Amino acid sequence: MSFANKRVLVTGGCGFIGSNLSRQLLKLGAQVTIVDSLNHLYGGNMQNISDIQKDVELLIADLSTMDDMKKLVKGKDYIFNLAAQISHVDSMTNPFNDFAINAKAQLVLLETIRKVAPQVRIVFASTRQVYGIPQYLPVDELHPVIPVDNNGIHKITAENYHLLYSRVYGIAASCLRLTNTYGPGMRIKDARQTFLGIWIKQALMGETINIFGDGEQCRDFNYVGDVSSAFIAAALNDNSIGKIFNLGSNEVINLSKLAQMLIEINGSGRFQLVPFPSERKIIDIGNYYGNWEKAKRELGWTPVTDLRSGLTISFEYYKQYLNNYIK
């Protein structure tokens, strides 16, 4: 199987991961359609596709308010479903909006697929946030699912929609639970998408990196190119159908050491430990790193970019395009 001349839809394709995935799909010969709301709150950025815009079909639309998805999905061979509301804090302050985007719109999409494109392969971008506070480490796919925020609730709901439609209707769906994805194109002007993004901005602009808590919290990270490869592996492998897979890394690092690494790569900077804001403390999950052996075993996926190398690439990118991401 390959993507040569295959018709591919990437929802959220102007976002961080979607744009990088679209770039890889084009290199594999796919005919790529991108749909994105370009809502300034959700991470869509035209800079992310500036080098490939002429090679893709771009539709600016919001899946949560779209009247008719039939034209969007009809005739597609693959759908990579990355459209989402990404802020955990916002999911608590505006839960109905999060539900509309991360759950209801997903059901509408799947119903449309069932009716007009039942042959399509779909890979859904979920999150390790569905696990909540880890009861053991590393977290595998059998870990209890106890989300700490509405974003996690709605993402696990969307997962279940995808798996239900796979079991009942034979839709070839699979789900990837992403951990901390980073790299060129991620949102850096605030912490809505990832704390690592705003840390990079703070380092580049000579600001102090603020670490919430004691700095000992551990995390794992995946470079965006490796995450894109995981989506492609899931789409091309029948072993993925009807299943959930964790992504992750063998590199686990605490936040203080991570901040120090950023400062070393940047060549300057400083960090400080600060108390958790109350709205973040109540949804913090503490230590997290995942077991991704299932993806390695069944999909043949292994991350290849080490953390220092990926962060170095990221800094070089943002030094060149910083103004496009902080406006």
| Mean of pLDDT values over 239-249 | 98
- Round the average pLDDT of the chain to a whole number and report it: 95
Burial of 62 (0-12, 13-18, 19+ CB in 10 A): middle
State both tokens at 264: 């070393």
Distance in angstroms (rounded) separating the CA atoms of residues 124 and 87: 18
pTM given for the model? 0.96
Is the predicted pLDDT of residue 193 greater than 80, yes or no?
no
Is the predicted pLDDT of residue 164 greater than 90, yes or no?
yes
The reported pLDDT for the residue numbered 119 is: 97
Backbone angles phi, psi at 182, to 5 degrees: -145, 165
Per-residue confidence band for 192, with pLDDT thresholds at 50, 70 and 90: confident
The angle formed by the CA atoms of residues 322, 325 and 327, to the nearest 5 degrees, is: 105
Per-residue confidence band for 40, with pLDDT thresholds at 50, 70 and 90: confident
Residue whose entry in the numeric block shows the structure tokens 């400062």: 263
Per-residue confidence band for 282, with pLDDT thresholds at 50, 70 and 90: confident
The reported pLDDT for the residue numbered 25 is: 98
Percent of the chain scored above 70 by pLDDT? 100
The reported pLDDT for the residue numbered 292 is: 98
Distance in angstroms (rounded) separating the CA atoms of residues 247 and 76: 26
The reported pLDDT for the residue numbered 281 is: 85
Q: pLDDT by residue (tens digit) across 246-265?
A: 999 999 999 999 999 999 99
Is the predicted pLDDT of residue 1 greater than 60, yes or no?
no
Cis peptide before 138 (omega within 30 of 0): yes
Per-residue confidence band for 310, with pLDDT thresholds at 50, 70 and 90: very high
Task: Categorise residue 206: left if φ over 0, alpha if ψ from -120 to 50, beta otherwise.
Answer: left
Residues with Cβ within 8 Å of 4's Cβ and at least 6 positions away in sequence, in order, are 28, 29, 30
Domains of the chain and any CATH numbers: 7-186+221-250+289-305 (3.40.50.720)
